[in-house]
Structure 1
Amino acid sequence: MPTHTPEEQLSHRIGDAISHFDVDCVNWAKENFLFGGVGLDMRFSEELSNYRNQIKRSIGVEPLGNDHFGGFLCSCLGKKCLYLPKIRELLVRYELALFPNRQQRFLSLFKLADEEEKTIIDFTKAMNWRMGSTSSKKFLHELRLPVSLADSPIDGSRSMVELINPYRAPHPLLEFQETVKKKALYALDRLGRCLVVMPTGAGKTRTAIQTLGEFFASNHTEFNGLIWIADRDELCEQAAESFSALLPFIVQQPIPLWRYWGGRGIEISENDDGIFVEGIVVTSHQQMQRRLAKNDPIAEAIIDSAKAIVIDEAHRWLDWNEALTSKVADINPNCKIVGLTATPYRRESRDNSRLVDTYARSLITPYDEAMKNPQFTLEKLTHERILAKRVDITPLDLGVNISSDSTPMIRMSEGLDMIKNLLQHGRKSVIVFTESVDQAKQLSICLNMEGVKSAYLDSETPPNSRRRAISRFRDGEIFVLLNYMILTTGFDAPKIDAVLVLRKNNTEDLPVINQMIGRGLRGPLFGGTEDCYVVLR
């Protein structure tokens, strides 16, 4: 049975109340808070007016119909709309219209002597609405609304609630992943380095971690001194999450996992051989390049004491990767080096040669045929239904002509048209990566007002609300899930059948774009879809 957030329950109640009284919603909203409300309503007039005007210019229609007004208001303000006296009045009038005998309960709640309905309404409008107060919570209880709508914000860095996830052992590697692991182990023993080539969505990170775990175990070495270098913070976080999920089933002792990117520091240890970093270090190419260039002693210690280095997206930053691997060969010759890439072939043939030379010309692919035909692995895994068939769709295929000289409002309008046309093409689970937080929020508001169930997530979405939205998206209760840089990695919704990327720079050579596309490429063998539409703005 579908569940609804407290904000959704509030928006439904407001919408029902407006419809029940047959109010001219547009004029009522303009008069009371969109264009010059009175009293306490004024504090929200500018914010509501701003959203309303943006939406109207974007979709060219009047958004404030009775059916969608509650959703519009709560999308703009959330539970803050209960500060508005006119909203509290509307809810009480609606409750008394449905259940006249509840008048006595309100009189008792407010301790009012006069038994006239007007007295209740006047008190409701004048009450001092305070989050966390007992009177506010009792008021919501009498309206049959969640009392959590009156909860006070929680101070401090810790959330009020923490999610405890089930502890599940990872699935065994698939046959093609086992093949990669065995080839890589052989190459590391014989040559000390290799380049693993696997398509996006095939599990490069999982396979690499498993491979190194077995390598350390076979050499009776602690799973320690591993450096994972990724391009961009999002891929660093994905790698760190993968280590957190897999290491409990690989290591025998606790081991530190360092998030050494985004300006973060790290602790060092010292023994007879000098300083070193204990544990696993996940870092970004950008941070390591800057700090090594400045001869930072901690960055130098990370490289000097490494037992193995993994370079994700190894085809990028080729000059620096060559210099790093050459330096490692000079100062730490026993260190193993593994490169990971989905796209090893460069535009210049000379760069292809440089890349494979960096990894001792040891290319590891799941299938030998892929050495001659780079598309073989992708085609094979798609044929075996491990990956979904990727169907590239242009905006023009969806009837949208992209403007070359656009504004944020024009791009939002284009994005809205593309989303609606994807749904008209039979897509049932669409994930949208927007160019900004504002665009995600505004598109979600527009879709919901047009009757399309959607949700948006940003960095400030509370964990519980994020979990609920994702759960509803997975269960098919929400058709469109919008986000800005939240769901690029570490997110799994097998039934996604369309990926829409609205970023202005959608070059597929950007790792993050491949990660976005990969969200929709889970095949039917793993509970995914047969195909996935991919649209890059």
Structure 2
Amino acid sequence: MFFDPAVLSVLDALFGGRIDGENLRRVARTLIDLDVLLGEPDGRKLVLSLVPNEKRTELEARVGRTITASPASEWTESQVRRLRDFFGLVEERILPPAVPPTETITPIYGLFDHQRNAVCRLAPLLDEDERRAVLHLPTGVGKTRTAMHVVADALRAHEPSVVVWLASGKELLEQAVVAFKEAWMHLGTRPLQIGTMWGDRMPDLDRFSDGFLAVGLAKGWAVISRTDPDWAVRLSQRVRLVVFDEAHQSIARTYRQVTEELTLDFRCALLGLTATPGRTWADIDEDGELAEFFAGNKVTLEVPGKNPIEYLIENGYLARPSFRTLLSRPGLAFSEREISRIAGGLDIPEEIVAALSMSEQYVAAVLDAIDELLGVGHNRVLVFAASVDHARILSAILVARDVRSNVVTGLTPVRAREHAIRTFRSDDEVPMVLVNFGVLTTGFDAPKASAVIIARPTRSLVLFSQMVGRAIRGPKAGGTETCEVVTVIDPSLPGFGDVAAAFLNWEDVWQ
């Protein structure tokens, strides 16, 4: 009754003769759509004729009518729906999606307005004349993502070609490789090589002809000075763009040589990335040398209003920071010679910092600040310690006080460091404190950190800005609306204690 004779003939043949009842029932489950049959008068009449007498009464009560008195065609929509329910069929109404006449598509690897504007203004500077420029954006505003669009543009424009990304520190280099992989998946046009050259990693550079090469500055110089003095010169024939992350380091003698050799080809452009386009806060000659190295070309924020930082905070790109000074009185007396060294140097000598930080009063003041931040609801507190010993003792005391804490220094094994950072970045609601010395000022992204303690005295505005930047990502960048910065740094120094002032500190040398 349910099968076309032609279908039955095919089934009989495939089952080696007349198909038996058990196999016929199995086939029927796939070939017969009961939902369709119940919706059609003839099919419904056929199905109802097979309902056993003992089930008819139950069916009629469920449907609300007799199933034999009227023709099958006189069923209402409601009765058919109840009939389907009786047979255990779930009615699904799939409506075609409404297609509006106009809709918006959001790119997976897109840019904000101010980032797109920066990319557009960089293009002519990197294509003409000296082909050098610095991209100056505050930490947390997406320098790396913005730069990856420039990288992708260069690789699409030159085929085959190599883009070299220079940075110091494993974290910055790993961050760049991950960012490039994500960017090229959405912006790329062809398969590419990805090379990693830092630590014990050493790709075959003579075979590296088309792709993205991440080079550690220390590794690049070590290879030049020890094993292969011409590697950068040979590679330069294929390099069309060099990106120098944390560009304020680029005029150091050894790093400058690596950069100059990689950009020997007149077709190669040099892009510097920085949140602090100077090396000091007071030495205009040294900062001027950096500006000259990049041909005086700096692309920075162009946003409505006079204060770009305030615009970014008001629009959720940056967290609104509040600064306060850690009040501690270590009682440490400095000699006139030590005071002279502090006043004349770019930063405070390490032995003076170490002596200061390990005093009982100083350690107690930092611990009190941590307790206070946790007490007001900060779930992630990042502490920049003044030395390895300082970091270890702070973390040890926190653990003894049942505060979840890890310590990361340059001596921490790689696996332990990665575990500590991964835990700090996690969604775990338990409050955590990550104490570090010398390794997390750059290349470390922890948007959930809403408080920073800078327990490391410094006169370096560059270092200070990098430390503050670890907790300044706003909601649109996956961070927080506000952040708290507790510091032992003298807020009377130019730019210290004010993100906007730090951002604008070097404007005069780039004019």
Q: TM-score range by the shorter chain?
A: 0.5 to 0.7
Distance 1:443 1:303, change over 3 A: same
Q: 1:502 to 1:351 in 2, by over 3 A?
A: closer
* 2:367 aligned residue (404, 407, 416): 416
Per-residue deviation at 1:282? Answer: 1.5
Q: 2:125 aligns with which of 173, 187, 211?
A: 187
Shift of 1:323: 5.7
Q: 2:325 aligns with which of 370, 394, 417?
A: 394
Partner in structure 2 of residue 480 of structure 1: 433
Cα 1:407/1:172, change in 2 over 3 Å: closer
Distance change in 2, residues 1:482/1:314 (3 Å) = closer
Q: Could you tell me which of 208, 213, 233 is aligned with 1:281? A: 213
Match of residue 295 from structure 2? 360
Deviation at 1:453, TM superposition (A): 4.8
The answer on whether the counterparts of 2:159 and 2:210 sit within 8 Å (CA) in structure 1 is no
Paired with 1:215 and 1:285, the residues of 2 have a C-alpha distance of 22
C-alpha contact 1:433 1:484 (8 A) present in aligned 2: yes
- Distance of 1:403 and 1:507 partners within structure 2: 23
Q: 2: CA distance between counterparts of 1:478 and 1:368? A: 36
Q: Does 1:523 align with 2:461?
A: no
Mapping of 1:100-499 within 5 angstroms? 170-191=108-129, 192-217=131-156, 219=157, 221-222=159-160, 224-262=161-199, 264-269=201-206, 278-292=210-224, 296-318=229-251, 320=253, 331-345=264-278, 347-367=282-302, 376-396=307-327, 400-402=328-330, 404=332, 405-406=355-356, 408=358, 410=360, 412-424=363-375, 427-434=378-385, 442-454=393-405, 459-461=414-416, 467=422, 470-471=425-426, 474-483=427-436, 492-499=445-452
Root mean square deviation of aligned Cα: 3.6
Distance 1:514 1:298, change over 3 A: same
Distance between the aligned counterparts of 2:136 and 2:298, measured in 1? 7
* Preserved CA contact (<8 Å) 2:155 2:162: no
What one-letter code is carried by the residue in structure 1 that aligns with 2:313? T
CA distance in structure 2 between the partners assigned to 1:356 and 1:368 by the alignment:
23
- In structure 2, do the counterparts of structure 1 residues 177 and 456 end up closer, same or farther at CA, with 3 Å as the change threshold? same
> Does structure 2 conserve the Cα–Cα contact (< 8 Å) formed by 1:234 and 1:489?
yes
Structure-2 separation of matches of 1:534 and 1:413:
18
5+ residue gaps, structure 2: 1-106, 333-354, 489-511
Matches within 5 A, 1:49-128: none
Contact 1:291 1:299 in 2 (8 A): no
The residue type equivalent to 2:460 in the other structure is T
Return the index of the structure with the highest Cα Rg.
Answer: 2
Residues 366, 470 of structure 1: CA spacing in aligned structure 2 closer, same or farther, 3 A cutoff? closer
2:462 partner SS: coil
Partner amino acid, structure 2, of 1:494? P
Q: What code does the residue aligned with 2:317 have?
A: I
* Distance in 1 between residues matched to 2:473 and 2:240, nearest whole Å: 34
Quote the offset at 1:213 in angstroms.
0.3
Once the 2 structures are TM-superposed, how far is the Cα of residue 296 of structure 1 from its aligned partner?
A: 1.2
Q: Which runs of no fewer than 5 residues in structure 1 stay unpaired?
A: 1-168, 271-275
1:107-129 Cα distance to aligned partner (Å, 9 max, x none): xxxxxxxxxxxxxxxxxxxxxxx
| CA–CA separation in structure 2 for the residues paired with 1:402 and 1:180 | 46
Q: Are 2:320 and 2:472, in contact at CA under 8 Å, matched by a contact in 1?
A: yes
**CA offset at residue 326 of structure 1?**
5.6
Q: Kindly tell me: are residues 352 and 243 of structure 1, through their superposed partners in 2, closer, same or farther at Cα, counting changes over 3 Å?
A: same
Specify the SS of the correspondent of 1:257.
Answer: strand
Q: CA deviation at 1:408?
A: 4.1
Maintained 8 Å contact 1:268/1:278: no
Following superposition, the deviation at residue 534 of structure 1 comes to 1.9
Deviation for aligned residue 1:333: 0.7
- The SS at the match of 1:259 is strand
1:181–1:207: 8 Å Cα contact kept in structure 2? yes
Letter in 2 for 1:501: I
Contact 1:318 1:355 in 2 (8 A): yes
Per the TM alignment, residue 183 of structure 1 is displaced from its structure 2 partner at its CA by: 1.2
Name the aligned partner's letter for residue 195 of structure 2.
W
Deviation of 1:225 (Å)? 0.9
User: Residue 479 of structure 1: CA displacement?
Assistant: 4.3
Partners in 2 of 1:280 and 1:417 — Cα distance? 46
Number of equivalenced pairs: 350
**Change in CA separation of 1:315 and 1:485 when aligned onto 2, cut-off 3 Å:** closer
Which one-letter code corresponds to 1:201 in the other structure? G
CA contact (8 A) 1:447 1:453 kept: yes
- Secondary structure at the counterpart of residue 307 of structure 1: strand
Determine helix, strand or coil for the equivalent of 1:213: helix
Letter in 1 for 2:206: S
Tell whether 2:453 aligns with 1:500: yes
Counterpart Cα distance in 2 of 1:422 and 1:358: 42
Between the aligned partners of 2:381 and 2:249, the Cα distance in structure 1 is 30
Q: In structure 2, do the counterparts of structure 1 residues 403 and 232 end up closer, same or farther at CA, with 3 Å as the change threshold?
A: farther
CA contact (8 A) 1:258 1:281 kept: yes
Q: 1:202 to 1:465 in 2, by over 3 A?
A: closer
